[in-house]
Structure 1
Amino acid sequence: MTGSVQRIRAEAAGPYEVFHTDCPARDVVDHVTSRWGVWVLISLRSNDLRFYELRESIRGVSEKMLAQTLRALVQDGLVWREVEPTTPPQVTYGLTEFGRDIGEPLTELFDRITRRLPPRDAG
């Protein structure tokens, strides 16, 4: 009996309805595709970075916006956060397996765009 109850619950839950405003998957998509979310995922694709290294790698982002973006991506399970108990604390960020999986097509998109743009003038 327990198995049938669980199966009914799973079937009732169904797929995510991403076009509904209350869908949790939509929140993740919003965070990933936000102005700074894309850049965080691309910046962390090859190295784990400390907060200030990440801020320096993403030109134009404020500390406040980077902190908000990282908080959302950590909560979504795309980015991990590690705090070293030093004075002051050193905080390092990196991509989770989920974050690497999501970041891969973003990196491919970025690479395709930069390959298709005309060459930049050296002067």
Structure 2
Amino acid sequence: MGDFDGPGDVFLADCPARLAVEVIADKWSVVVLYALSRGSRRHGELVELIGGISKKVLTQTLRRLQDYGLVGRRAYAEVPPRVEYELTELGATLIDPIAILTQWAEHHGDAILAARPE
């Protein structure tokens, strides 16, 4: 298949690479992963940090990222209970690609907005 040969073929419905792309391509996944790139955070801290995300959507996103091994959850036996989320080793491997994507978005965001039909 030329340029697309490699460990996976995202054009195949059952390809693990395609699933990986679907998980990280979710609207909030990249933002949540990037927010955790500077260390563990509590749910409330993430809600405050990430503009526009609801508590419910954040919870769903964190659970999905946990299910796929990208985020870890640590509960502390304290009163009141404290839970923190952090990147796993696998999740941390996404930070460099996310940083590159973020830089691209910062440089080209205005052009994307300008190209939208009115």
Regarding TM over 0.5, the answer is yes
Bigger Cα displacement from structure 2, 27-36 vs 59-68:
27-36
Q: Any idea what SS the aligned residue of 2:72 has?
A: strand
Identity %: 40
Segments of 5+ residues of structure 2 without an aligned counterpart are 1-6, 111-118
Q: Does 1:43 find its partner at 2:43? A: no
Q: How many aligned positions are there?
A: 105
Q: TM-score, normalised by structure 2?
A: 0.75
Question: 4+ residue stretches of structure 1 with deviation over 4 A?
Answer: 115-118
Q: Deviations over 1:38-66 (max 9, x none)?
A: 10011111121011101111110111111
Q: Does 1:110 find its partner at 2:102? A: yes
Could you tell me whether the CA contact under 8 Å between 1:80 and 1:94 is conserved in 2?
yes
- The 5 A counterparts of 1:1-123 are 15-115=7-107
Q: Deviations over 1:6-63 (max 9, x none)?
A: xxxxxxxxx5443233334323321211100010011111121011101111110111
Q: CA deviation at 1:117?
A: 6.2
Q: Hey, what's the Cα distance between the residues in 1 that align with 2:23 and 2:78?
A: 30
RMSD of aligned C-alpha atoms? 2.2
Bigger Cα displacement from structure 2, 79-88 vs 29-38:
79-88
Q: Tell me what 2:115 maps to.
A: none
Q: TM-score, normalised by structure 1?
A: 0.73
